Amino acid sequence: MDVISSSFAVEFNPLASPAWNSLRRRHHHQRIPLSSASPRRSAVLCSALKSSPSLSVVDSDSSDSAARIGSLSQVAGVLGCQWGDEGKGKLVDILAQHFDVVARCQGGANAGHTIYNSEGKKFALHLVPSGILNEDTLCVIGNGVVVHLPGLFKEIDGLEANGVSCKGRILVSDRAHLLFDFHQEVDGLREAELAKSFIGTTRRGIGPCYSSKVIRNGIRVSDLRHMDTFPQKLDLLLSDAASRFQGFNYGPEMLREEVEKYKRFAERLEPYIADTVCVMNEFISQKKKVLVEGGQATMLDIDFGTYPFVTSSSPSAGGICSGLGIAPRVLGDLIGVVKAYTTRVGSGPFPTEILGQGGDLLRFAGQEFGTTTGRPRRCGWLDIVALKFCCQINGFSSLNLTKLDVLSDLAEIQLGVSYKLPDGTPVKSFPADLRLLEQLKVEYEVLPGWQTDISSARSYSDLPKAAQRYVERIEELVGIPIHYIGIGPGRDALIYK
């Protein structure tokens, strides 16, 4: 019996993976939420938080900041409010120090989350959850994620080479679908086929992999434990792609090479595989704290985004339950992450886009180039209509406003506060009809800029009055408090309001 077949003996015990067992020992003692700790213990914890170089709580009243983080619900989530690239990874990285688990529920390597460790070293993550820099945190890749194994192993190797231990700290759902190299090739062929109507995908194979999943010929992580039937399943998948795309060349040699490659991958992946649905629910029943990290954002949601210029999963609140196998009733606080302006990558509607030199200046000031692809992002003013739409769908309890510092050089800042048709008819919400979107006229509200560097601000009161007014006007228009304000890329560049 080979390694893969013998390892299948543990399949019926979903919690028997080496990674899960080591983490059970590590997390045996439950963390005490700051909000439920005694006054004396809270004072000690707040003092520790204030001096921690990795968390860098920067509000002048550190006890308020610590209490806010500690009072987050047992199961909380961080989701994007725009078209992605809002800076979710940084907030997840900071909050992860107060959670036992950080879990990805959807998407794949098309997500690019940039985070920095306490020494300022940059890490670009794509599949591994952003809690990985916190050594006591378990990172879960849920069943709703599509997993490209070469990319995952490359990411793990890079983390290990930079001193970040991944052993026993990452679990991959046995229900997650495998994304193969050919899915990426098909992604490019599909975009070429669409010509001028192309979606503008990352060409990471995400859409084709989800397509395989939905038409029910996909291959899941658990299939790696059955290498006797794996070749037949892969042959069916490759043959289907070859029949669909003339430019896709498939033959017996490709199948042999892929099967041999995945035999090796299967052996390496085995220690990471777990029934994460069972794992997540056991953690929840034990009152462990779980933080869900969304990939992409609500305006790219397959149902609620600017279809068809969207991703292939549900990066809104509903995707959390289906992507991790947890019940809606356990979800608590959801934090929406929104840039102080708006960006999007690829094609599709963008009502508040700034064309020409203005957009270029914002792009370079904010270094708006894709983490995953390096593509320049389209830039525009903050779209309040789209933001309110996202907030309605997700039910956010608070917001994280990021990259406020990027606006510092502007003499005036505009907010897109409402939509109207050419005849003056108001449009109350973000429309599904792309033709209607093309006709919209955005009404802007102009606010004064502050024209001073705010990157060294370490409390809300340190911000110029004009910057405070901008933050508070967004709160007024959206009706949701902004509790976190990003004024730079580092961990310390976060103001708690």
- Annotated binding residues, as ranges? 84-90, 110-114, 202, 216, 296, 311, 371-377, 403-405, 486-488
- Annotated binding residues for substrate, as ranges? 371-377
Per-residue pLDDT, 201:
64
Q: Say how many residues make up the chain.
A: 497
The boundaries of the domain holding residue 344 are 337-496
- Annotated binding residues for Mg(2+), as ranges? 85, 112
Identify whether 83 is part of a domain.
yes
SS3 (DSSP) at 474: helix
Identify whether 483 is part of a domain.
yes
Per-residue pLDDT, 200:
61
Identify whether 475 is part of a domain.
yes
Per the CB < 8 A criterion, the answer to whether 87 and 346 are in contact is no
pLDDT 10s digit of each residue in the chain, 497 long? 333 332 323 333 444 454 544 444 444 433 333 333 333 323 322 333 333 333 333 434 466 667 788 889 999 999 999 999 999 999 999 999 999 999 999 999 877 788 888 788 888 899 999 999 999 999 999 999 999 999 999 999 999 999 999 999 999 999 999 999 999 888 877 777 666 556 666 678 898 999 999 999 999 999 999 999 999 999 999 998 888 887 788 889 999 999 999 999 999 999 999 999 999 999 999 999 999 999 999 999 999 999 999 999 999 999 999 999 999 999 999 999 999 999 998 889 999 999 999 999 999 999 998 776 788 999 999 999 999 999 999 999 999 999 999 999 999 999 999 999 999 999 989 999 999 999 999 999 999 999 999 999 999 999 999 999 999 999 999 999 999 999 998 888 999 99
Per-residue pLDDT, 25:
44
Distance CA 474, CA 451 (A): 19
Distance CA 273, CA 174 (A): 6
**Which is catalytic among the residues 27, 183, 213, 339?**
213
pTM of this structure: 0.85
Distance CA 425, CA 309 (A): 26
Distance CA 406, CA 402 (A): 9
pLDDT tens, residue by residue, 236-254: 999 988 888 877 888 899 9
Count structural domains, the chain. 2
Distance CA 397, CA 332 (A): 9
Containing 154, the helix (H) or strand (E) segment is: helix 149-161
Which CATH number belongs to the domain containing residue 250 in this structure? 3.40.440.10
SS3 (DSSP) at 374: coil
Per-residue pLDDT, 36:
35
- Annotated binding residues for GTP, as ranges? 84-90, 112-114, 377, 403-405, 486-488
Is 113 considered catalytic here? yes
**CA atoms 456, 461, 467, 472: torsion sign:** positive
Distance CA 154, CA 132 (A): 15
| Amino acid at position 229, single letter | T
Is 388 considered catalytic here? no
- Give 164's Cβ-side CA count (13 Å radius): 25
Taking every pair of Cα atoms in the chain, the longest distance, rounded to a whole number of angstroms, is 74
Distance CA 84, CA 1 (A): 46
Judge if 302 and 168 occupy the same domain: yes
Q: Where does a domain end: 278, 312, 332?
A: 332
Which CATH number belongs to the domain containing residue 419 in this structure? 3.90.170.10
SS3 (DSSP) at 332: coil
Per the CB < 8 A criterion, the answer to whether 322 and 305 are in contact is no
- Annotated binding residues for IMP, as ranges? 85-88, 110-113, 202, 216, 296, 311, 375
Is 85 considered catalytic here? yes
Per the CB < 8 A criterion, the answer to whether 129 and 88 are in contact is no
Nearest to 318 by CA among 309, 326, 310: 326
**Which is catalytic among the residues 27, 59, 93, 113?**
113
Distance CA 11, CA 474 (A): 50
**Which is catalytic among the residues 27, 59, 85, 275?**
85
Other beta carbons less than 10 A from residue 111's beta carbon: 32
Identify whether 47 is part of a domain.
no
Residue 273 burial class via C-beta count within 10 angstroms: exposed 0-12, middle 13-18, buried 19 and up: buried
Per the CB < 8 A criterion, the answer to whether 367 and 122 are in contact is no
pLDDT tens, residue by residue, 285-302: 999 999 999 999 999 999
Buried b (16+ CB within 10 A) or exposed e, 309-348: bbbbbbbbbbbbbbbbbbeeebbebbbbbbbbbbbbbbbb
Judge if 341 and 237 occupy the same domain: no
Judge if 327 and 422 occupy the same domain: no
Judge if 289 and 430 occupy the same domain: no
Residues 6+ apart with CB under 8 A from 3: 267, 270
Here the tokens at position 274 are 């777990």
Per-residue pLDDT, 490:
85
Q: Where does a domain end: 317, 332, 347?
A: 332
Identify whether 419 is part of a domain.
yes
Per-residue pLDDT, 197:
58
The torsion angles phi and psi of 135, rounded to 5 degrees, stand at: -65, -20
Nearest to 176 by CA among 152, 146, 202: 146
Judge if 324 and 341 occupy the same domain: no
Distance CA 465, CA 470 (A): 9
Per-residue pLDDT, 70:
84
Judge if 349 and 287 occupy the same domain: no
Identify whether 314 is part of a domain.
yes
Q: Where does a domain end: 332, 364, 388?
A: 332
Distance CA 480, CA 144 (A): 29
Distance CA 252, CA 315 (A): 37
